Every structure is written in C-alpha cells, then in structure tokens.
Structure 1
Amino acid sequence: MEQASPLPKDCRRRRPDLLTGAWLALLLLSLASALLTMLPILPELVGGGILLLALAKARVILARYLDLADSPAWLRGFTIVLSGFTILVFVLYLL
C-alpha cells in the first residue's frame, strides 16, 4: 500500500526542476569562467569577471541548494557578505 506524503504533489514535481535548473546554471557559469580566460583582454578584467561569476555561482548555490530562496532576508545577508568578500579579494588582486 502506498503511503501518503505530507508534501503536496506539485511540490514533489517542482523540486527536481529547480535543482536541475540550478545545476545547469552552475554548469553555464563555469563554462563562462573557462571561456573568459581565453579572451585576449587585460588580466585585471579577467580576474574581475571570474570573481563576479564566482559570486553568481555562490548565489545560485545559496538560493537553490541551501533553500535560501524561501528566506529573502538570509539570502540578501549572505549576498552582502559575499559581495564584500569579493570586493576585498579583487582589491587585493589589483595590489
């Protein structure tokens, strides 16, 4: 006999799609990082671009894999902290 799940049916259907979308987004952001290193541009721009793409990947992981999309205040807080860390790393890279 099949047991009833406490989750609604549509919730069980949507979850894998969100994780698959997050996985595809991470894959595309990683590909963009790799392609960015092949462009004939200033190393400072490449470093900044890679840091921005890493920040975008961190946000996808926080929002989808850690389910912070349901808690906008926490997601915003983590994003602010990670943005500050990214700026600090970029400034140190430029020095």
Structure 2
Amino acid sequence: MPAASSFPKYARRRLPNALTRAWLTLLMLSVASALLTVLPIPPAVLAGGILILALAKCRVILARYLDLANSPAWLRGFTMVTTGFAIIIFALYLI
C-alpha cells in the first residue's frame, strides 16, 4: 500500500466536477471543429462532420448545463429533435 503524502494538497487527487468536464469537452469539440475545416476533404463531408460535432456539443450542453442527465426521457427527446433538425439542415445543404 503506498504511503500517504505528508502534504495535504497532494494526498488525494480529485477529478474535476461535472461542469468542468463538460466545459473541457466543449473546448475539445470546438478545437476538433476548427481542425476539421483545415483538412482537404470534400465540402459535403466537412459539413457532415461539423454537424456531428455540433450535435455532440448540443448533447453535452443539454446533459450537463441544463441538467437533463438526471431526466433521461427529456434528454432523449431533445436529442431526437436536434438530430432531426440537423438532418433537415444537412439535406437542405446537399440540395
């Protein structure tokens, strides 16, 4: 068994709380969106990738910031609506 540190600050590492993790996730998804625009890929694939990343960010915001993680039915409903909206937007883009 490892010995405990004599410094209380380093005795136990805590994970960041849910809002901090959500913020870091949103930051990473935003960086991924920005990096996706630099890649030499067809515009339709680029638009689809950006929409998928936007849906992931929307889900994080709904689950953590609006606290719908505690209400799975509402989270699922909002996810279905935003996914349908993204599909309509992508279909209109392709036309």
**TM-score over 0.5 for the alignment?**
yes
Q: Percent identity?
A: 71
Cα offset for 1:86? 0.3
Find the aligned partners of 1:57 and 1:91 in 2 and give their Cα distance.
20
Query: How many residues align structurally?
Result: 82
TM-score by length of 1: 0.83
Higher-Rg structure is 2
Provide the secondary structure at the position in 2 that maps to 1:21: helix
Structure with the higher fraction of residues in helix conformation: 1
Structure 2 counterpart of 1:27, one-letter code: L
Counterpart of 1:29? Answer: 29
**Unaligned 5+ runs, structure 2:** 1-13
CA distance in 1, matches of 2:38, 2:85: 25
**TM-score between both structures, scaled by the size of structure 2:** 0.83
Report runs of 4+ in structure 1 exceeding 6 Å deviation.
none
Tell me how large the CA RMSD over aligned residues is.
Answer: 1.4
